[in-house]
Structure 1
Amino acid sequence: MTQPTIAPYKQLRRPLDDRIVAGVCSGLGRYLGVDPVLVRVGFAVLAVLTWGVALLAYPVVWFLMPEEPAPAAPPWRDPADPTWGQPPAA
């Protein structure tokens, strides 16, 4: 049995589950090990202090930061599958 491949380093990715706009602040929070809410508040403060110039960084980071891979298919069978009522093939 082989072990799943695990990256030997932290990966900066936009999560699929904890998003408000695109997941940039949430991804940065997970990468840095802090609450994403603190990153969001810090970004809002930075945007105010720079008179909105920091807002230009958000779409750039959104474009550059890759999205988390989608989770694997669920272990149950889809009821919309035409073979749903039949026993699974052996």
Structure 2
Amino acid sequence: MSSILVRPRRGKIIAGVCAGLADRFGISRGLVRLLFVIGGIFGAGEIAYIIGWILMPKGE
């Protein structure tokens, strides 16, 4: 488990926000992606993703 929150350069689908969150907290990338999709349907998942994209730095 990584100790900092960064977007990975590999293994990402769009911007790497879900992959970065999953890596940081040690959970499945697929689960995080599913939660963002559900959040997009029922809440503000898209806005949270865009904010993460802007705020999370790219990893090395």
Considering the TM-score relative to the shorter chain, is it more than 0.5? Answer: yes
Give the paired residue count: 59
What is the alpha-carbon distance in structure 1 between the residues aligned to residue 42 and residue 51 of structure 2?
19
Q: Distance in 1 between matches of 2:45 and 2:8?
A: 22
Deviations 1:29-85 (A, max 9, x none): 0001001110000110111112xx32112111101001011xxxxxxxxxxxxxxxx
The normalised TM-score by structure 1 is: 0.61
User: Are the equivalent residues in 1 in contact too, given 2:5–2:21 (CA < 8 A)?
Assistant: yes
- Measured after TM superposition, the shift of residue 22 of structure 1 is 0.3
Instruction: Give the Cα separation in 2 of the matches to 1:41 and 1:19.
Output: 14
Matching residue of 1:12: 5
Please, what TM-score do these two structures have when normalized by structure 2? 0.89
* Larger RCO, structures 1/2 (Cα 8 Å, 6+ apart): 2
**Which is richer in helix?**
2
Question: Is 1:33 aligned to residue 26 of structure 2?
Answer: yes
Structure 1 portions without partners, runs of 5+: 1-8, 70-90
Larger Rg: 1
Q: Give % identity.
A: 36
The 4+ residue runs of structure 1 with deviation greater than 4 A are none
